[in-house]
Every structure is written in C-alpha cells, then in structure tokens.
Chains A and B, each alone.
Chain A
Amino acid sequence: MAETRPGNTRVTYDYVTRTIARTLGTPSRGYFLLLAAAVALLGIGIITLLFLLRYGLGLAGYSHPVYWAVFITCFVFWVGIAHSGTLISAILFLFRSGWRTAVYRTAEAMTVFAVMTAGLFPLIHIGRQWYFYWLIPYPNERGLWPNFKSPLIWDEFAIGTYFTVSTLFLIMGLIPDIAAVRDLATGWRKKLYAITSIGWTGSNEQWRHYTRGYLYLAALATPLVLSVHSVVSWDFAMAVVPGWHTTIFAPYFVAGAIYSGCGMVITLLTPIRKIFGLEEIITVKHFENLAKLCLLTGSIVGYAYACEYFLAWYSGSTTERAAFWYRAFGSYWWATWTMIICNGFLPLLLWSKTIRTNITALFVISIFVNIGMWFERYVIIVVSLAGEPFTKWTNAVYNPTWADWGIMAGSFGWFFMWFLLFVKNFPAVSISEVKEVLAPPRRGHARAVGGGTGGPH
C-alpha cells in the first residue's frame, strides 16, 4: 500500500484508525436497504424450508437418477466462495504480500459466513435435519460408528475443521482492531468492545506471542484450505460416475474455488468501498491484484476443462466419451456453455490492464464469475448424474423447482445478512495491518524506510 503512494502523507496511522472506525458509525439508507433485501431473501429461504419439512424433499426437483442436485451444487458453490478468503488472509500472509492487508478482513469474514452457509446445505439435503448428529462419531446404543472410508465423513471433518480454524483466525485478527475501536468509542459500544477485545493493549508481550501464533495459524490454514476443497472434490471423484471419477478433481476444484472466491471478494468490496468511503485504503491497485488472481486461477480452470474433454476422448472409454458428449451437446448444453464461457473465456479479458483497473468492469465480470462457477458445480453434479450412460433408460430431465430456488435464494440472504451485520459492527478492514504497510512515524525523516519492511510481513 505504502509503496503505491510513497508521497501520500494524508494516510497516517491516525487517518487509518479514524477512517476504518467510521464504518462503525450510523449507517446510510443504502445499508439498511441492502440489509432488508438480505433478510427478505432469508425469509423466502425459511418459508421454503418449512414447506420442505412439512411435505418432504419431494418438493425439490429430484428425479431418478439425479438425487444430488441444487442443494449439493449450492454446498460446493459456497464452500468454494470461502476459499479465497483463506488464500488472501493466510497464504498471502506467508508470501508477505503487503497488499493483502486492506482486503483480507473482508475476505476472511466472507470465508466464515460462506462456510456457515455451505454447512446448511448438507443438512437441508438430508431431509431430516434433527438427525444431523448421526454424522458425528458419538457412542450410541447400537454401537455403530461412522464409516471413515467414506469421503462424506472426510468432508464433515474437513468442513468442521475449516469452519473452526477460519473463525479463530478471523477473531484473532480482529482483537487488536477491536481494541483500537474500543479506545475511540464511547458508551455501550465501549463496553462491548472492551469485553470483545479481551484486554488487548498492544504491549510487547502480547505482540510477541500474538505474531508468532498468527504465523502458525496461517501456516496451519494454508494446507487446510487446499485440503478442504480437495476433500469436497473427492465426494465426487471417489464415486464411479463418469464425469466425476477423475484424479484431476482436487487441483481443479481448488483452483475453481479460489477463482470464484476472488470474484466474490470483488463483488463484496466494490459496494463496501463506496458505502464507507474507503477509497484511500482499498485502492485500484488492490482490485487489480485480485483481478490478477482471478486471471491466474481462471486460466487453471480453463485448462482443467480442456484436460477433462481431452482425457475423455483420449481414454477411449465409451462411457466417458458419452458422458462428455452429453455434457456439451445434451439436454443441458446451455449450462455447460455458460460455465465454459464465464470461466474459460471471460477471465481472459483480465489480460487487459484497462479492464483490470476499471472497477465497474471488474464488478460486472465478478458477477459473471459467480454465475459461471455456480453453473460449473451444476454441470458437474447434475449433468453427470443425468447423463449416466449406463442407466440410459432411466435418464430423466431434471429441473429444479421453486423449492430449490427458494432455498438457494435463502442462502444468499443468510450470507449477505451476516456479512452486512459484520461490516457494520466490527472493523471491516484491518486497522493494525493496514498500518503495518505504512512507513512508521520517525523523527529522523532522512532514515525513513519504505513500508512493509518491519512488520511480520
């Protein structure tokens, strides 16, 4: 950050604290409108869920052999969204990328709320939510234990760990910032922040243990994030369905997850930056870097698509060839081509610097990234099942119903509601880490060094 504007003396430590603390002030009308929209969407989801509970999963569009459908699609979509948050907060931390400081808090909050959203879908999908605890290995009267050879159990462990660790990581990062806000706040807010900052003063002992611990959490979160979407991909890859049963799935899913997550970060940051006036802190440079990440991961995804088709042909397996022919030219050709255009070709626009530095263009592209990545999961899950070549006589044209869409709309409402409440009540940009990349105040200005050389970066 500092390196992008070396001569900018307006951005001081005090400016950073006050600008970010301002986001916690009285919200504008736009904020309340967005929040109301989110709550309304959540309401639709809750009503749909009540119908599903009363009348059963038959309300959703399941039809043989498509028994994994929109709910599982949404599950994978939301887990994927979560991934770039940890990439930005943990992996870029280990790479010492100074630019992450301005955007990582938003990305990390997005991670936590996206995992919270994703976690709902397997529960909705099982139909009888009140038996969710059967997933957990607990001593029971039948003496049964879960099957640890099942990727679904791996998934439960992976998602559970991911949710716990990303929440801890978010809270850890928040503590010094809540303390900074506490020291500016008055009244009940001061009390709230005094409790939630658990006695943070910024003393040398606190920083000594904190920075070490943060480093190790980042080091643990890095392999974790790569493992989580790999495990999610094995939910499919371990099965024998053509279109699922490939070894490429783990890296392909991880790249896709980060691609969709970066898209979602751009989608979320654009309005936040506008609403809260954070233009000086979240700069075009940050958006450009996010766009570059999109370009990189989008290219990997495009390459994976090409690989899948090539290997289906090259394998010589007739079922595999039939499955991929069905994917591209069968009943769902429109979903497949939406996915290929949005994920394979659209990111190529980001080679242009003019587009990378145009925030409106990036916002529009990011929406298409989200749409494309939702369709990727739809294509992988629904189309592979619908086109199973060895059950030709049972092929059904699956169509999602209002119940599927209602739950999906509810999930967006749930996610945005939490996100909007978070950015209003806690610092949505890291105060202490943004300061770290500024040049520290020195009396002897001649000796002043550039940013990013002294902190844990």
Chain B
Amino acid sequence: MFSTPATPGVLGVFSHLDTTLDAIKKLRAGGFDDFTVYSPIPRHEIEDALGAPVSPVRMFTLIGGIAGCSVGAWLALWMSEDWPIVVGGKPVGSIPPYVVIMFEMTILFGALSTILGILLNTLYARRRAGTILYDPRFTNDRFGIFVPAGSDKASTAERVLRDAGVDEVRRG
C-alpha cells in the first residue's frame, strides 16, 4: 500500500511466451526462486513453470460462504422468534422458506470474502516483493521477469535471461 524502498534487481522484457517460460525454468534451475513474472494475460504455462501452490483464496470463499449461510439462518430464525406471529398453527421458525435467505446470504458473503481474499493475498505478495521495476508494455503485449538480485548476483541473473532470449534487460 505504501511504497517500500526499491528492491534492486534485473528486469527482462520478452516478446514471446515460450522464451519467457524458458527463462523461468532456467532461473529456477539457477537457484533464483523469488522473482516476479509479468504477463498481459493469465497463462497456465507460467503458473506451471513457477510451480506455485493453489491460491488460498478458495479458503476465503469457503469460510465466507459458510458464515453467510449461518448468518442467513440466524437472521431469519432469530427475528421470527423475537416477534412470533403464529399463522395457521404453523411453526414460527420454519426452515423451507428460510432456505432462500440462507442461500442468498451464502452467495453474498462468499463473494465478498472472495474479493477480500484476492485483495489481502495480492497485497501481501506486493508487500513482500517491495517496489520493483515495471514496464507499461506488460499490460499490452510483452511478458516480463523481474529478478531481485544484489550487485553480486545481478550479472548471473542477466546472463540467464539473455540465454533464454530476452529482448531487453534493465537494472534497477
């Protein structure tokens, strides 16, 4: 959220997906593991090459959904009991009509907490990476890899990127 000091490193700009994937594999083989890959679109190949675990957002969705369902049930049941009106001798808190409320609240809370999960997780990742180099072409048609590296490892990283067929390299 607030800019952290710039992380030193090397930024490579790629025009092709296959060269990007190649660079990811070579970087991982070379012992680099906390680099950032930019791409204009999500690609499974990139995720697979990075070997990242499944996003924890799904836990947010699950917990939000269960919470929503419970809140829906509580809302309808408690409010009925709080002002009981008996109609035709039927139960004051009857489950079938309340399923609708529980269902809608499941969706509402599930969706809200999914959004929260995405925000918190990306924010956390961003904080961890710090302020790193970026290029506006990454949202258009270029792929990019930023390798955080001090002066000692920067030239190794640069060599790996050039090996894979990078178009441009910048140091930051």
Contact = CB atoms under 8 A, between A and B. Distances in A.
Interface in B101-125: 101, 103-105, 107-108, 110-112, 114-115, 117-118, 121-122, 125
Given A202-B40, A210-B42, A161 B136 contact: no
Contacts of A392: none
Given A201-B38, A204-B47, A212 B138 contact: no
Nearest to A137: B79
Contacts of B65: 220
Given A208-B55, A216-B58, A216-B61, A447 B18 contact: yes
A227 interface: yes
A207 B103 CA distance: 29
B37 A209 contact: no
A333 interface: no
A148 B141 contact: no
Contacts of A10: none
Contacts of A147: 85
A183 B140 contact: yes
Interface string A420-442: 00000000000011011000111
B61 A454 contact: no
Q: Which residue, A157, A202, A223, has most C-beta atoms of chain B within 10 A?
A: A202
Contact of A209 (B40, B118, B141): B118
B147 to A, nearest CB: 13
A209 B122 contact: yes
A390 B122 CA distance: 62
A117 to B, nearest CB: 20
A176 interface: yes
Contacts of B83: 143-145
Contacts of A227: 100, 103-104, 107
B103 A443 contact: no
Interface in A186-243: 199-213, 216-217, 220-221, 223-224, 227, 231
A441 B17 contact: yes
A129 interface: no
B111 A202 contact: no
Q: Which residue, B52, B56, B57, B165, has most C-beta atoms of chain A within 10 A?
A: B57
Contacts of A209: 55-57, 117-118, 121-122, 125
Nearest to B146: A203
A203 B94 CA distance: 49
A148 B38 contact: no
Contacts of A199: 126
A165 B41 CA distance: 23
B138 A202 contact: yes
Interface of B: 15-19, 36-47, 50, 52, 54-58, 61, 65, 75-76, 79-80, 82-83, 85, 87, 94, 97-98, 100-101, 103-105, 107-108, 110-112, 114-115, 117-118, 121-122, 125-126, 129, 134, 136-141, 165
